[in-house]
Amino acid sequence: MNEFTILKNIKKIREIKNFRQDFIAQELDLSTRAYTKVETGETDLTFKRFFKIASILEIKPEELLGFDYK
């Protein structure tokens, strides 16, 4: 699984849960623009941030990796 797929999964789950980017950004202590860069791959997704995003989305990290967004 590549980073692009993980980022698409994050975005899709965020949308399913009706979480806005500004909410996730606030939880990560980032600006909305900085979070947008993470979600679009302009900024690298660190392991620490990946696990925090999974927690915010209320999903296990392994479920986030295996999510089929189609």
Tell me: pLDDT of 32 over 70.
yes
Q: How far apart (Å, rounded) are the C-alpha atoms in residues 26 and 65?
A: 23
**pLDDT(38) > 90:** yes
- Average pLDDT of every residue of the chain: 92
Residue 1: predicted pLDDT = 66
- Compute φ and ψ for 41, nearest 5 degrees: 90, 5
CB 64 within 8 A of CB 13: yes
- What share of the chain has pLDDT > 70, as a percent? 96
Rounded Cα gap, residues 21 and 2, in angstroms: 22
What does the alpha-carbon distance between residue 9 and residue 43 come to, in Å, rounded to a whole number? 16
